[in-house]
């Protein structure tokens, strides 16, 4: 990635910090801020230059679309066309960790870079009070992927953002740790399809729709974020479904039957707790691996239900061979 040589301000969540964040956004700068899922890297979704700055800061491929964040459903309807089914889901789950992929409304003013040239737009109304304050004060749609270098572990604290993007972005609003810890669940409608499991259990969406959601998406031509085969990756290789530590590994456990694990996502086997801790645990394990000269991070099995489905989605992508090194010695996984 090219160095952007920004001076990165660290802002608080008091009115002055919110006002400064909005001032920078209006000036076409990019600002990281907390949502209930992960920290987002925000830019004015109506500005080609601001959105281009997001891609540049992250080193993100421009064929990978972004999510536009809005303060409320009323504002969301100005940039996307809602069916009755989409409106019902929005009323049930917004604000919250659900992203809807809907037809882009003609004349919305959204930069083509946000949608990667598609005729659909991914939109969300976040629940975090700091995100909501920024969006309300800014008064327009904010494109905001996760605030980390593309393909790397997503950030759930301001310190994580500093580690990956300090000097590359204008500011970081420090709102403390993110409560959910996984990116939003992404659903396409008409026809309904799951594009990414996330911080809202898929079962809850299916119950609201009264149907099972088939899984869609294309790693070669993504129509929503989080579909690339290799993503969320720490520096060390990742081995999945590890019931014990092999020589030269750092072991992340799950549940009470992982005695001796270096870290544990949830000692009680709670997938909600595990989701909130996942990205922090991957970062911590990566540090331990570097200190010990370990070759890999091993992760215990996590049940594939509720938020466990989203956890496993992130782990499978973290364990995939890295695109910059197809021969990456990643241990086999199912």
Bond before 8 cis per omega within 30 degrees: no
For residue 155, pLDDT beyond 90? yes
Type and span of the H or E element at 159? helix 158-165
Res 334: pLDDT: 28
* pLDDT average, residue stretch 245-269: 96
For residue 128, pLDDT beyond 90? yes
At residue 315 the predicted structure's pLDDT band, cuts being 50, 70 and 90, is very high
* Interatomic CA distance for residues 195 and 174, integer angstroms: 30
Overall CATH class of domain 9-209: alpha beta
For residue 218, pLDDT beyond 80? no
Sheet containing strand 249-253, edge to edge, reads 237-239, 296-299, 249-253, 263-264
For residue 104, pLDDT beyond 60? yes
Phi, psi of 172 (to 5 degrees): -130, 125
Domain spans, the chain: 9-209, 237-319
Bond before 191 cis per omega within 30 degrees: yes
Res 151: pLDDT: 83
Q: What 3-state class would DSSP assign to 249?
A: strand
Residue of 76 and 229 predicted with greater confidence: 76
At residue 222 the predicted structure's pLDDT band, cuts being 50, 70 and 90, is low
In this prediction, what percent of the chain has a pLDDT beyond 90? 82
Q: What 3-state class would DSSP assign to 13?
A: coil
Contacts of 191 (CB under 8 A, 6+ apart): none
Res 217: pLDDT: 63
The length of the chain in residues reads 334
Q: Is residue 87 exposed (0-12), middle (13-18) or buried (19+ Cβ within 10 Å)? A: middle
Res 251: pLDDT: 98
pLDDT tens-digit readout, 231-244:
678 899 999 999 99
Q: What 3-state class would DSSP assign to 237?
A: strand
Q: Is residue 303 exposed (0-12), middle (13-18) or buried (19+ Cβ within 10 Å)? A: middle
What 51-56 contacts at long range (C-beta under 8 Å, 24+ apart), as own/partner pairs, is 51/111, 51/113, 51/114, 51/143, 52/113, 53/4, 53/28, 53/29, 54/30, 54/143, 54/144, 54/145, 55/113, 56/1, 56/2, 56/4
Residue of 140 and 117 predicted with greater confidence: 140
In this prediction, what percent of the chain has a pLDDT beyond 70? 90
For residue 1, pLDDT beyond 50? no
Name beta bridge partners: 252.
263, 299
At residue 2 the predicted structure's pLDDT band, cuts being 50, 70 and 90, is very low
The two structure tokens encoding residue 8: 């990165």
For residue 152, pLDDT beyond 80? yes
b/e per residue 216-244 (b: at least 16 CB within 10 A): bbeeeebbbbbbbebbbbbebbbbbebee
CA 307, 217, 296, 178: dihedral to nearest 10 degrees?
-40
The two structure tokens encoding residue 40: 């987002």
* pLDDT average, residue stretch 206-227: 75
* pLDDT average, residue stretch 55-84: 91
For residue 331, pLDDT beyond 50? no
Average pLDDT score, the chain: 90
pLDDT tens-digit readout, 22-57:
999 999 999 999 999 999 999 999 999 999 999 999
Count other Cβ atoms within 10 Å, centred on residue 151: 19
* Interatomic CA distance for residues 56 and 283, integer angstroms: 23
């Amino acid at each position: 990635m090219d160095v952007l040589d920004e001076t990165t301000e660290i802002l608080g969540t008091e009115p002055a910090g919110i006002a400064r964040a909005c001032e920078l956004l209006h000036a076409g700068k990019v600002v990281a801020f907390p949502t209930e899922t992960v920290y987002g890297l925000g830019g004015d979704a109506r500005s080609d230059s601001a959105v281009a700055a997001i891609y540049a800061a992250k080193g993100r491929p421009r064929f990978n679309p972004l999510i536009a964040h809005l303060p409320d459903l009323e504002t969301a309807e100005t940039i996307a066309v809602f069916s009755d089914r989409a409106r019902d889901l929005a009323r049930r789950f917004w604000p919250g960790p659900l992203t809807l992929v809907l037809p882009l409304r003609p004349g919305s003013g959204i930069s083509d870079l946000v949608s990667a040239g598609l005729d659909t737009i991914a939109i969300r109304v976040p629940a975090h009070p700091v995100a909501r304050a920024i969006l309300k004060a800014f008064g327009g749609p904010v494109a905001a992927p996760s605030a980390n270098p593309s393909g790397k572990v997503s950030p759930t604290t301001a310190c994580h953002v500093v580690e990956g993007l300090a000097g590359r972005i204008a500011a970081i609003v420090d709102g403390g740790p993110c409560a959910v810890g996984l990116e939003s669940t992404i659903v396409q409608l008409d026809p309904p399809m799951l594009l990414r499991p996330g911080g809202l259990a898929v079962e809850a969406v299916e119950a609201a729709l009264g149907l099972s959601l088939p899984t869609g998406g294309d790693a070669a031509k993504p129509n929503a974020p989080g579909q690339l085969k290799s993503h969320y990756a720490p520096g060390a290789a990742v081995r999945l479904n590890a019931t014990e530590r092999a020589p030269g590994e750092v072991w992340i456990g799950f549940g009470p039957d992982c005695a001796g694990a270096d870290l544990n996502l949830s000692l009680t086997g709670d997938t909600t707790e595990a989701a909130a801790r996942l990205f922090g645990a991957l970062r911590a394990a990566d540090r331990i691996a570097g200190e010990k000269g370990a070759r890999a991070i091993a992760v215990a099995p996590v049940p594939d239900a509720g938020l466990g489905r989203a956890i496993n989605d992130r782990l499978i992508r973290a364990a995939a061979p890295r695109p910059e090194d197809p021969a990456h010695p990643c241990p086999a996984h199912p």
